[in-house]
Amino acid sequence: MCGIVGIVSHRPVNQALYDALTVLQHRGQDSAGIATDADGTLCTRKSNGLVRDVFHQRHMMRLRGNIGIGHVRYPTAGWLSSSEAQPFYVNSPYGIALGHNGNLTNAESLKRVLSEQDRRHLNTGSDTEALLNVFADELQKQNGGGLAPESVFAAVENLHRRCSGGYAVIALIIGHGIVAFRDPYGIRPVCLGRRESDEGIEHMVASESVALDALGFELVRDLAPGEAVFIRGDGSLFSQQCGEPKDYTPCIFEYVYFARPDSIIDRISVYKARMRMGEALASKIMKERPHHDIDVVIPIPDSSRTSALEVANRLRVKYREGFVKNRYIGRTFIMPGQEMRKKSVRSKLNAIDLEFRGKAVLLVDDSIVRGTTSKQIIEMAREAGARKVYFASASPPVRYPNVYGIDMPAASELVAANRTEREVENFIGADWLIYQDLADLEASVRYDNGSIRDFDTSCFSGHYVTGEVSTTYLKRLESERSDHAKTERESQRRKLEGDLDDPADDDDLDDSSPAPRAGAA
């Protein structure tokens, strides 16, 4: 999962892009990058690390221009290397810098075609680089001088024909403007914002509306499935549906875990969706155990708080904050590598003993993925003196890999993949485990937007909305993206790069100096 942002303004955008990326930091913590257009000169800075660590004053001063894009990344594959930080860049046609959120399910076949037929060199294993080169190739094929909106939209339409998967894309075309588009199923989110200034209208595109809010932009709308927008440097905006939308199936896990609660995605309040998840979960608890002995409901911070509060209200039991969170530890689910996740849990959370001692405690989390975090948290609750520890998940069992940009690639690493709910209960050490029903989860999210009939629920249901996901593909994905495979790649990286990939001492990796002026094709 990654975060993207793009701004076309009448004033320098470097600080605004930085601020937007800090708001989107929850979507990726491994690397960050910004690219700006300074009157036809591309200025970039990207490296491993958090936004605050990647961009220092010297970098910000070099990011000149009133147009730019930004990206925060966490990898589902590849090395934790600055070479795979986004945006990526190609110099022809025009000069294009591009970042994306999601995953291409046909990336390998695309890479072969790009290399063998289109004669394009790919320098990394990132599907973003493949997507960028497909877009550049299709834009190159358009006839006529200049860069008309029709040419941009035709290139995007052809890209949709060639690319499969879930993706939200932001691209900076040097000397022309910004292009943003969304996959034909609307799996990955992207929204459009507008702001009036003394100089004129300014536009912003971002993964979540909360980034618009932070910068004073008004949310105009979400991009429709398959839609593209082209924003010129003068602020003029063009939009078009690029081919027929396949369906409208946004990723339901955005509402469960990834998105900030104060975001609006596809006209659905993430906060209210999580409230309804809690209401539905409480109803199921009352149905299965009407005479429960729960003394207190305690959330696993942060994303389960909203649901947990509603569970407590409906059950008419106390709601308490039983865990104190260390704000300086990243989100464990999106940390690369199982060992890092294990080490981070106890340094991230500390139990308040008096909220547990002698009580039957219901812990509420947004989901259970690998199960190791839940197991450690239950152990912490028992060590704090809990008499019984019940565990509730605001989402159904995660049994299947996700192939659209969420790091759930290996079924063997999912605790519920080959276990019954009672077996998962035993594995994590709970006295009782209860999951949300999928139908209730969908109803909880769909409530605000009746035009959305279905969601991408592949990690729960095993149904892949794009249709081309085969058993062979899933096996290959597991071999490439399991924790073991990531550990092996990281070991190779350290050997090859000598561990020079340190953002605290990366002047040798600093690419923030302006690139040569881009010329028209």
Tokens of 241: 């549906």
Q: Bin 298: left if φ > 0, else alpha if -120 < ψ < 50, else beta.
A: beta
Count of residues for the chain? 521
Cα radius of gyration (the chain): 23
Handedness of CA 93, 99, 101, 103 (dihedral sign): positive
The residue type at 489? R
Say which of 2, 43, 242, 251 is annotated catalytic: 2
- Cα distances (angstroms) measured from residue 361 to each of 347, 358, 388, 425: 22, 9, 6, 15
Which residues are 238's β-sheet partners? 230
| β-strands 165-173, 96-104 pairing | antiparallel
What is the rounded CA–CA span in Å between residue 459 and residue 125? Answer: 24
Give catalytic status of residue 251 as yes or no. Answer: no
Structure token digits, residue 477: 């994905």
Bridge partner list, 5? 70, 206
Measuring CA to CA, which residue among 113, 163, 156 is closest to residue 135? 156
Q: Choose among 447, 424, 295: nearest CA to 367.
A: 424
Q: Where are the alpha helices (DSSP H) in 411-482?
A: 421-428, 438-446, 458-461, 471-481
Active site residues: 2
